[in-house]
Structure 1
Amino acid sequence: MSAARIAIVTSQAGMEWDTDLPLILESLRAEGAAATAVAWDARDVEWGGFDLAVIRSTWDYAERVGEFVAWAERAGGLTRLWNPASVVRWSSDKRYLRDLAGRGVPVVPTRFVEPGAAYDEEGMAALLDAGAVVVKPAVSAGAFDTARYEPEQHADAARHVRSLLDRGRVVMVQPYLRLVEEGERALVFVAGAFSHAIRKGPVLTESGVIDNARVPHPGVAPYQPSEEELTAALAALAAIPAAEAPLFARVDLVLDESRRPTVMELELIEPNLFLGDRPDGLKRLVDAILAKAGAAGH
């Protein structure tokens, strides 16, 4: 039997900075697979020559989301793509939070503002309410173009909203949940089953500042989630519009003011899975990839 041909899909930035990438490749090769790192936008790639393509560190997708989704649909027609193109399309825009909320999943309350929406000062004030808020685009990665604002900074928040709208971006406005300062929880799942979790420090440490060079995962430490946190994360996974569980998923949680676990994001495209210190998590992922590649060969 020939070795399974597996593409681990990345980007130019991923080739340089993804610390999980060499671990995955080495582990797959140790199991006899022909595993190769391939940038999603590399020219002249014969995607049909792979038994399986696994999206991992396509970290520039949010800047070219239409192009990326089109690539996923094209590649998914030539080989088995995980996570699949339909999931990529759905999860590339954080308006999926509406779907999660509609399924009863506890999510951070979110208002979406579409380009072309006319917001005068009164309308903007109603949008921002009276508390601290977070403003960000609905298509983004790594807290890009994201900032939080205290009530006395709402004029700055309004300018941020208008700036994004003027660039044709859908805007999200959320309350700033202060218990995030106790740490975000990131729960990693492989083939639908819980694998491991980390807790990291808050990202938006300074109000009124858009810092696109900030560290996206400060102070990472191993974490054991509570049953309530696992329940919230599993509810989010169950709401994904797909027939099969995703190959990988990361559910980011924060505590609301009543200390209830609340979903911030459901990461299904290129999340950091924090495998460096979790050989058990690496093994689970590699085993799941090999199982998908084996299924592709039958």
Structure 2
Amino acid sequence: MTSNARVALATCSVLPDLDADDRPLVDALVARGVDAAAVVWDDPSVDWSAFDLVVVRSTWDYSARRDQFLAWADSVPHLLNSADVIRWNTDKRYLRVLEEAGVPVIPTIWLDPERHLSKRAIHTRMPAFGDFVVKPVVSAGAKDTGRYQPISAESRALAIMHANELLISGRWAMIQPYVTSVDTAGETCLVFVDGEHTHAVRKNALLTGPSRPTQGLYQEEVMTPFEASEAQVEVARRALDAAAKELGTSEPLLYARVDLVTRDDGTPMVIELELTEPSLWMQFSGDAKAAERLADAIVARLA
């Protein structure tokens, strides 16, 4: 069924051969009779219609030009995850949908650039107690994201400046309380392939202070294998169910990653739902067969 099938694994020009974690997927697909190759998403010479399927992987330079990325996604005939999923998921206001569906998420204050908020108005929307985070609704890899302390006049001034710069540039901004459990327990990232939970990893804290320019595509992350609890898997599934309902689909996504943190009372809550181009951390799967599982799911969609 897959003889002569061609699959492109979309990446970015900084990683033309894919991220190291994704490279075993090429061999896994070839072993299944698929002609698979990494292809740079914004390469104008590529004929995307020549591929039977295009799988979004390490397209990690899109956030500064989301409109171009969405136009590309719309132009690709057979894209996974789909253009509709990408459009919805690349703007963090999707968290509102999860919250309305009863999925536990971090409480968020949303700042709309169209409201032309003054610095004083921004100031009044920031927490009076506890560290907090300021970031844009379109970002990746903790870029343009900073952690601030309300009791420090200098830190609060930096936070106001950060949010104001985002708004002036026409970008929505979001303010969230910093979840202190991240400092000790990190984030838990649950990976799903074809709707099934396959493995999880623990990610160390990234935010230690104000927003600063990030070298490269993203801040480096320290990951370790982790076994998710039943409660964490349940919250992750609820988030995916809410996404499916919002997107009007009953078919499982090819891949998904649900990133969770822990409330003070121990309840898991969603910090991000990654359906566009998440690292799947296949090297950390317990049985080292993550690439094979993903390859099987891709092949099934070629049948």
* Ranges in structure 2 where 5+ consecutive residues have no aligned partner: none
Residue 174 of structure 2 corresponds to residue 167 of structure 1? no
Whichever residue aligns with residue 272 of structure 1, its letter is: S
CA positional deviation for 1:85? 0.5
**Hey, what does 2:195 align to over in structure 1?**
192
* Ranges in structure 1 where 5+ consecutive residues have no aligned partner: none
**Hey, what does 2:231 align to over in structure 1?**
228
**Hey, what does 1:273 align to over in structure 2?**
280
SS of 1:25's partner is: helix
CA distance in 2 between partners of 1:30 and 1:187 (Å): 27
Residue 18 of structure 2 corresponds to residue 11 of structure 1? no
CA distance in 2 between partners of 1:56 and 1:25 (Å): 12
**Hey, what does 1:35 align to over in structure 2?**
36
Report the TM-score when normalising by structure 1. 0.93
Aligned partner (choices 270, 275, 282) of residue 263 of structure 1: 270
CA distance in 1 between partners of 2:17 and 2:298 (Å): 22
Residue 208 of structure 2 corresponds to residue 201 of structure 1? no
Whichever residue aligns with residue 264 of structure 2, its letter is: E
Aligned partner (choices 159, 178, 198) of residue 180 of structure 2: 178
| Segment of structure 1 superposing worse, 209-218 or 88-97 | 209-218
Quickly say closer, same or farther: Cα 1:124–1:98, change in 2 above 3 A.
same
Contact 1:188–1:249 at 8 Å: present in 2 too?
Answer: yes
Q: Deviations over 1:175-210 (max 9, x none)?
A: 111111121100000011101000011000x22242
Whichever residue aligns with residue 92 of structure 1, its letter is: T
Contact 1:150–1:208 at 8 Å: present in 2 too?
Answer: no
CA distance in 1 between partners of 2:281 and 2:67 (Å): 28
Q: Deviations over 1:254-283 (max 9, x none)?
A: 112222101000001111111124322222
Whichever residue aligns with residue 60 of structure 2, its letter is: W
Instruction: Name the count of aligned residue pairs.
Output: 290
Whichever residue aligns with residue 230 of structure 2, its letter is: E
Whichever residue aligns with residue 147 of structure 1, its letter is: G
Residue 256 of structure 2 corresponds to residue 249 of structure 1? yes
CA positional deviation for 1:58? 0.5
Contact 1:188–1:195 at 8 Å: present in 2 too?
Answer: yes
Q: 1:63-142 alignment to 2 at 5 Å?
A: 63-75=64-76, 78=77, 80-131=78-129, 132-142=131-141
Report the TM-score when normalising by structure 2. 0.91
Quickly say closer, same or farther: Cα 1:142–1:266, change in 2 above 3 A.
same
**Deviating runs (4+, > 4 A) in structure 1?**
none
Q: CA RMSD in A?
A: 1.6
Contact 2:119–2:164 at 8 Å: present in 1 too?
Answer: no
Whichever residue aligns with residue 288 of structure 1, its letter is: A
CA distance in 2 between partners of 1:90 and 1:284 (Å): 26
CA positional deviation for 1:211? 4.4
Quickly say closer, same or farther: Cα 1:233–1:9, change in 2 above 3 A.
same
Contact 2:189–2:201 at 8 Å: present in 1 too?
Answer: yes
Q: Deviations over 1:197-254 (max 9, x none)?
A: 00011000x2224241386453311000111100110011001124122100000101
SS of 2:36's partner is: strand
Give percent identity, aligned residues only.
Answer: 42
**Hey, what does 2:58 align to over in structure 1?**
57
Residue 286 of structure 2 corresponds to residue 290 of structure 1? no
CA distance in 2 between partners of 1:74 and 1:104 (Å): 34
Whichever residue aligns with residue 144 of structure 2, its letter is: D
